[in-house]
């Protein structure tokens, strides 16, 4: 925890992911599920990691938490969290960080909760497992947390079991557990995807408030550009295991740079206005064993050039946007490898 008077400037980087490469062995060969994953998470901001299924957003999130440890997998590159390198950190040391300073919420609130344990006890367990506090203190903090995530009548609901909660309330419990040790970074993996729209809207606006009040940073993983618009300060768009574009949220929606981001936005049916035609991205996301060596979007890209099929594009800076696409080569110098 930062001391309260140490006001951080908005530019402080709290988590920096550089050239993250997560590989899996299939048969005798290693395949990269992600490569060229670069982004920074700054203090007090929400970064959305957005992309379609199989783009590598969830595995990236697991890698940050040190949870990619199955046999036949390896992680390369760098994940720097407050000056500490997380890639290769032994699990024993990771346990002091995970759940405490780096917390996580999952998509399915039902499976994230123990069905036979009282909700209040689960939250206070999250507190006592990382902090030396008395039972009474843990209970007091639990009730506080339940209140802060807007669970009505926390005193009564403390003794309830998860199945007595609705989906939205369960997700609030999960959020309360994640906040138990006042983490500086919260990783949220599609936390509202299983919820109905009206409940999703409530949880999203509460998450926004909580982030501001608790001075933490959030990495928010989602497949929905609508959710991105609602929560994010900055956005990293992922496609086929790569971060293809990083930009401020307004910029992404106003001036999407990467052809994939552009196509993704054009394929969302709008609630507000009648779109003449949905734009369709032809073809499919390649599977991990067929990821092209050069630009991974080339086969589906409307602006494809010969070079796209020969060489993977580096990061180019266009205004405040970082984009991996040869279209922007002439505009400005490279920023990355």
- Of 180, 174, 187, the C-alpha closest to 214 is 180
Distance CA 210, CA 105 (A): 14
> How many residues of this chain bind other proteins (CB under 8 A)?
44
Which is it for strands 84-85 and 73-81: parallel, antiparallel or unpaired? antiparallel
The residue (of 50 and 126) whose beta carbon lies closer to other proteins is: 50
| Sign of torsion over alpha carbons 29, 30, 32, 38 | negative
33 binds other proteins (CB under 8 A): no
The residue (of 140 and 150) whose beta carbon lies closer to other proteins is: 150
Of 84, 129, 156, 267, the one binding other proteins (CB under 8 A) is 267
Q: Quote the DSSP letter at residue 163.
A: G
Distance CA 121, CA 140 (A): 12
Tokens of 105: 């919420």
320 binds other proteins (CB under 8 A): no
CB 160 within 8 Å of CB 118: yes
Instruction: Select the span of 33-41, 140-148, 226-234, 319-327 touching other proteins (CB under 8 A).
Output: 226-234
Hey, is 13 helix, strand or coil? Answer: strand
Find where tokens 């990083």 sit: 246
Residues 96-115: x where in contact with other proteins by CB under 8 A, - otherwise, as a string: --------------------
The residue (of 114 and 166) whose beta carbon lies closer to other proteins is: 166
CB of 318 to other proteins, least distance (A): 19
CB of 205 to other proteins, least distance (A): 6
The residue (of 55 and 176) whose beta carbon lies closer to other proteins is: 55
291 binds other proteins (CB under 8 A): no
Of 196, 212, 290, 293, the one binding other proteins (CB under 8 A) is 196
The residue (of 230 and 243) whose beta carbon lies closer to other proteins is: 230
Alpha carbon distance, N-terminus to C-terminus of the chain: 34
Q: Quote the DSSP letter at residue 320.
A: T
Considering only residues 127 through 156, tell me which ones interact with other proteins, judged by CB under 8 A: none
Which is it for strands 234-239 and 46-50: parallel, antiparallel or unpaired? parallel
Residues 200-219: x where in contact with other proteins by CB under 8 A, - otherwise, as a string: xxx-xx--x-----------
Considering only residues 38 through 97, tell me which ones interact with other proteins, judged by CB under 8 A: 52-53
The residue (of 250 and 331) whose beta carbon lies closer to other proteins is: 250
Give the burial class of 187: count Cβ atoms within 10 A of its Cβ; 0-12 exposed, 13-18 middle, 19 or more buried: buried
The residue (of 18 and 45) whose beta carbon lies closer to other proteins is: 45
Find where tokens 């930009």 sit: 247
- Strand arrangement, sheet containing 13-26: 29-42, 13-26, 73-81, 84-85
Residue ranges in contact with other proteins by CB under 8 A: 52-53, 166, 168-169, 196-202, 204-205, 208, 223-230, 232, 249-250, 253, 263-265, 267-272, 274-275, 277-281, 284
């Amino acid at each position: 925890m930062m001391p309260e008077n140490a006001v951080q400037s908005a530019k402080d980087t709290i988590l920096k992911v550089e050239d993250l490469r997560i590989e899996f062995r299939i048969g005798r060969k290693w395949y990269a599920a992600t490569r060229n994953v670069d982004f920074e998470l700054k203090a007090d901001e929400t970064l959305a990691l957005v992309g379609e299924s199989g783009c590598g957003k969830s595995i990236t999130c697991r890698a940050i938490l040190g949870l990619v440890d199955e046999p036949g997998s390896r992680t390369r590159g760098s994940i720097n969290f407050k000056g500490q390198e997380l890639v290769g950190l032994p699990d024993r040391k990771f346990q002091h960080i995970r759940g405490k300073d780096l917390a996580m919420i999952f998509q399915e609130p039902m499976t994230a909760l123990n069905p036979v344990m009282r909700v209040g006890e689960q939250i206070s367990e999250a507190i006592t497992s990382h902090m030396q506090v008395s039972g009474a203190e843990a209970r007091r903090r639990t009730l506080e947390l339940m209140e802060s995530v807007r669970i009505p009548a926390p005193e009564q609901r403390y003794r309830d079991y998860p199945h007595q909660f609705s989906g939205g309330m369960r997700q609030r419990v999960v959020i309360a557990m994640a906040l138990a040790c006042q983490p500086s970074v919260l990783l949220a993996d599609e936390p509202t995807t299983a919820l109905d729209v009206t409940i999703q809207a409530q949880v999203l606006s509460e998450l926004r408030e909580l982030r501001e009040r608790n001075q933490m940073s959030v990495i928010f993983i989602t497949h929905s550009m609508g959710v991105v618009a609602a929560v994010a300060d900055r956005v990293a768009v992922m496609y086929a295991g790569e971060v293809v574009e990083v930009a401020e949220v307004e910029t992404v929606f106003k001036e999407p740079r990467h052809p994939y981001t552009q196509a993704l936005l054009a394929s969302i049916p709008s609630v507000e206005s009648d779109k003449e035609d949905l734009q369709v991205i032809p073809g499919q996301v390649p599977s991990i064993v067929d990821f092209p060596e050069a630009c991974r979007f080339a086969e589906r890209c409307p602006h494809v050039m010969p070079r796209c099929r020969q060489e993977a594009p580096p990061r180019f800076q266009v205004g405040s946007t970082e984009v991996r696409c040869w279209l922007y080569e002439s505009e400005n110098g490279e920023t990355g490898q």
